[in-house]
A and B are shown apart, each in its own frame.
Chain A
Amino acid sequence: MRSLRLLPGEFMRLLRGRLTQAVMVLTLVSPILGIFFYKPVLTQTMQSVYVANPAIAGGLAGYLLFGLLTILECGRIAKTRVNLLTDSLIPPELMAAVRFSALVLTALLTLTVTATAWLPISRCFVGSVFAFEDHFASYLLFMGTSLLFGMLIAASAYYVSGSTELSVIVLLCGAALNLTAWADKWQLCFITPMVDALSDDFSNHRVFLSVAWMKLSWLLLLGGIFILSGLCIRKYGKTLAASFLLGAKKLVKPAAALLLLGCAAFTYLRQPMTDNSNADLDVLSFCEIPYLEDVLCTGLDAKIVPDVDRGTLSGECVYRFLNLSGEERTLLFGITPGYRIRKALANGTEVLHVLDDYQEFNVQKLELTIPADEETQLVLSYAGFPKENRNISDLQGEREISRRYICLENANIAPDLLNVTTDPESFARVCEVVLPASMTPVSFEEGREELVSENPDGTKTWRYEGDTVNSILYAGDYVKEEVETDAGTVNFYYGAKHKAVMDEIKLRDVVKTVMDYCTEHYGTPQSISEGYVKLVESRIVHGGYATPGASLMDEADFTAFNLKDPSKGAGGSEVMIHELVHQWWGLGIMFSDMFFDETQGPWSSEGLTVYSSYRIAKELYGEEYAQKNYIDLWKDNLESYQKNFYIRNPEYLDRLSEDERSSIVCGLSDLRRYDEMPLKLLKAEELVGGEEAFDEILYELFNRELDPENPFLTYADFLDACGLREEDLDLE
């Protein structure tokens, strides 16, 4: 209470200092660094570029500036001997607490002014997808906490060392560690948090949750250290050790410090955000589990209830098994780490279940035994917070359960079967999901979502069906637009916040053009056999993917920033073209490139998809555009790659770090599929007599009779259809 009474005077004194004013002004302008110089969030959503990066850069600058201010303020008071006056009135440790509180208040004021001042700027740049809550949450979490951490570290270092120079070194070491050794560890980069992206159209709840947890751990840690260091403040002319012992006589402070440090350790070690998946990505032990030959799964009914306030999910699945062995059988399920099994009943009887600690690719093994009965109905109840894969902890936020967005995949929805296959004849999965009334569900598959009931608590129950255990579900504030095409109806789902942008680029027309072009040139894909396909915009997933009846692309492709960038002629709407074309090449026709190996050559679904996209762009935007944005681009990429020193001198690759080597190898893989193969196809087109002839060949290939044993379209099939040899397509 006494310190609160002293605070206004100290605060006003601090504000009158030129150094304080300079620090405040510099911090206020520091977010500009995030727009021009320091851009840790690479994803090109508008909020990543104009909210996250400025806030994070401001946090780094604020950490240093307010850390330095703290050190200089502490040092100055001792150096100028003002403390002789103040210490005679107020105990030095209380005065230090008041002074630190005043610094915190100054930082808070600076943060408030900064966030408010940058609000109109961010809003102007971000445009219609700007979200106030994301803006303020970013400035509070990304920036504000870093200011506080800078002050805590600086003050702690000064209280212990009593040296300005040493304290500055400690402060800088913190920043250096954050930017180097800890940069890729989400729990350690305490100043500049690892943020993959800030979504424009959907929620950032999961990202903020993760950052908040990390910041909480550090706040507890630094708070504990700060309290301990406060005991070292020299008093009564004593030495460091004697002052500490004097301060520690009252056990409250050491006890509080130890409590905070204990909590910090707990929150660090028991963090609920990421799992403990095996870090060795070559281990695929769950994929190698042999299937039981005499047990089949004939059906699955799942009912899930996401708790959008807590970010958790509870579910109950009813599996139906056909056990032809006449004996008990041990079944293995893959569940999402973070979920716990509440109940397991086989034919109404509770069965023992064992949840293995081992985790792999975000899956944890559940083991239970079903009775010898020929038909078994297994009920699994589960609940929890879906943790994300620690091996891609930098991408946290893709999986989310919040008021504005839900993204759940596979085992997040229902435990996966690890050693039982589904009955191909009869298996059916029915999922029911209870959602807030404002949310529109989109299941990423052929099945349509049906409204089952509107519940008294304001929620709605939806149902969707499928023929596999796994499914993907999105839900959010979606706009659904139906586009009638020659192939069928495209149900186009995109975030409501993006409506203005979508209307502006006339995306509906583009969709129709693509669908009509591909249907005319290649035929109707099997995935649209029911007469429609879903086109779904999702939160950032770095690209897009497709499955029968659905094609997904992430919001980065639709940002105003991206769509209006003239240097990205082949991006934006053309990414959507690309993903749509996958309904033909990759889904309609399968390629044996599921686990692509660059040593097998460039042949994959990507080559034909990129080539087809080029042809559509040519038809839409003209030959010059297509030449410049596709053919020239492929050639340039190939040429620059071939000029790369390490490609020309592969013997030096071993001297590079694993990351650098991996980057070059992955670059080669992408280049071969996205640049080399399209050029080969272009050469094939020329050799077979032009576009028309080539289109006919592709039509035949697309509509050929499939061998169920080997449904894949191989490079040899393609060459045979063209009447060409492999060497004919060698590029100069």
Chain B
Amino acid sequence: MQIELKDLSLTYPNGKKALKHANLKLNAPGMIGLLGPNGAGKSTLMKLLVASLLPSEGSILLDGKPLREKERELKQKLGYLPQDFGLFDELSVAQFLDYMAALKQIPDPKNAVREVIGLVNLEEKSKAKIRTLSGGQRQRVGIAQALLGTPELLIFDEPTVGLDPEERIRFRNLFSRTAGDRLVLLSTHIIEDVQSVCDHLIVIDHGMIFFSGTPSELIRSAVGHVGSFIEKNGNSADSKGLQVTSRINTGDGIRCRVVADRLPADARPEEPSLEDAYLYLISQGTLEKTTELPDDSSLKCRKAGPDAEKEEER
């Protein structure tokens, strides 16, 4: 399966531009993390991918053909977990999954339901009414319905919201395993969720795609732009306009870890983490809002920000 976005834009009826000229290629198999702050346009992009929205401009191609023509095929191959979804409270977990299996027209619904209940660890609650479930358990039901029928394309929008740390790790691994032979798109604003499991990342903000590449490519893009220093009176990160990624109390004072295009002279260079790189990218993107991607940008690192410019100059 291949999904291609071509110059994709979406403007809501209220005039808000949620996505601007996005170009992208997604190939199966793979696990793709979609990163971006709240309101960046992640959910909009996902809704476009599941054909819940129609683009204002541009197009989405599914295996080379316009999505409008292949909408039915897409829906048959799709497992989707939207953000803030609802469930039928009057049904039990098994009944709800049965219902979803019927909508998906799964040939052997009983086995499929049993399987996904096991995957999300809800065996004990399978006969419980959904209204009696906790938030985390409801989220697991949502994940289960997406996994029903082993769809070729799985799209999860903030799937780990409401899950405890142990469950988050468990589901991260589950998603990773699932991606072995399928295309999984995982949207989140939690770096940890994608750091260990995604082989590709897409960073989006203000409706624009800032980066598309591997995690290591993203990290490399931040080398030389991450450092730390001890905050003292008159020497705070805020006063220097720096993006702080962490503050740690040490015996010498508060050590600030910052990202910046130009680090202060007293800053000690640090090895960038994925979170540093992401924050660096976002901070630079906020300044520049560059969007255009070359047509062959499919899952390749785009050097956003000053480094990219330098590279182009060379």
Q: Residues of A at under 8 Å CB distance from B?
A: 5-6, 8-10, 12-13, 16-18, 77, 79-91, 236-239, 242
Contact = CB atoms under 8 A, between A and B. Distances in A.
Given A237-B12, A239-B13, A82 B85 contact: yes
The 5 lowest CB-CB distance pairs between A and B, nearest first, are A9-B102, A80-B86, A81-B86, A236-B54, A88-B80
B95 A85 contact: no
B190 interface: no
A87 B52 contact: yes
A565 to B, nearest CB: 48
Interface string B93-129: 0010011101111000000000000000000000000
Contacts of B181: none
Contacts of B84: 81, 84
Contact of B103 (A12, A84, A89): A89
Given A13-B88, A85-B145, A88-B82, A238 B13 contact: yes
Given A6-B105, A87-B52, A90-B103, 14 more contacts: A8-B102, A13-B88, A13-B95, A16-B95, A17-B90, A80-B88, A81-B84, A81-B86, A82-B86, A83-B86, A88-B52, A88-B82, A89-B104, A237-B47
Interface in B1-31: 12-13
B244 interface: no
A80 B87 contact: yes
Contact of B82 (A12, A84, A236, A237): A84
Contacts of A77: 86
Nearest to B81: A85
Contacts of B90: 16-18
Contact of A84 (B54, B75, B85, B105): B85
Interface string B198-239: 000000000000000000000000000000000000000000
Contacts of B99: 9-10, 12-13
Nearest to B151: A89
A211 to B, nearest CB: 37
A8, A9, A80 pick with most chain B CB within 10 angstroms = A9
Nearest to A90: B103
A427 B102 CA distance: 78
Contact of B78 (A17, A89, A236, A239): A89
Contacts of A239: 13
A81 B13 CA distance: 20
Nearest to B148: A89
Nearest to B149: A89
B75 A5 contact: no
A236 B53 contact: yes
B68 to A, nearest CB: 10
A17 B82 CA distance: 24
A13 B91 contact: yes
Contact of A9 (B12, B53, B98, B145): B98
Nearest to A85: B85
Contact of B86 (A8, A84, A89, A237): A84
Contacts of A87: 52
B34 interface: no
A86 B85 CA distance: 10
Nearest to B84: A81
Interface of B: 12-13, 47, 50-54, 71, 75, 78, 80, 82, 84-91, 95, 98-100, 102-105, 142, 145
Contacts, number: 83
Contacts of B98: 9
Nearest to B103: A89
A8 B98 CA distance: 11
Contacts of B104: 89
A462 to B, nearest CB: 62
B102 A85 contact: no
B88 A82 contact: yes
Nearest to B47: A237
A570 to B, nearest CB: 58
Contacts of A80: 86-89
A88 B156 CA distance: 12
Contacts of B78: 88-89
A85 B80 contact: yes
A86 B103 contact: yes
A12 B95 CA distance: 9
A8 B84 CA distance: 27
Contacts of B103: 6, 9, 86, 89-90
A81 B54 contact: no
Contacts of A83: 86
Nearest to B13: A239
Contact of A5 (B71, B85, B105): B105
B166 to A, nearest CB: 26
A17 B75 CA distance: 27
A642 to B, nearest CB: 63
8 contacts: A5-B105, A81-B82, A85-B82, A85-B100, A85-B145, A89-B100, A89-B104, A90-B75
B13 A6 contact: no
Nearest to B105: A5
B49 to A, nearest CB: 10
Contacts of B145: 85
Contacts of B50: 88
B113 to A, nearest CB: 12
B102 A6 contact: yes
A16 B94 CA distance: 13
A457 B112 CA distance: 64
A173 to B, nearest CB: 29
B13 A16 contact: no
A333 B110 CA distance: 76
Contacts of A85: 80, 82, 85-87, 100, 142, 145
Contacts of B95: 13, 16
A12 B88 CA distance: 12
Contacts of B86: 77, 79-85
Contacts of B71: 91
A161 to B, nearest CB: 17
Nearest to A82: B86
A179 B280 CA distance: 70
Nearest to A95: B103
A5 B100 CA distance: 13
Contacts of A17: 88, 90
Given A82-B85, A82-B86, A85-B82, A16 B100 contact: no
Contacts of B91: 13, 16
A521 to B, nearest CB: 76
B130 to A, nearest CB: 10
A82, A88, A239 pick with most chain B CB within 10 angstroms = A88
A23 to B, nearest CB: 14
Contacts of B52: 84, 87-88, 236-237
A518 to B, nearest CB: 72
A16 B145 CA distance: 19
Contacts of B82: 81, 84-85, 88
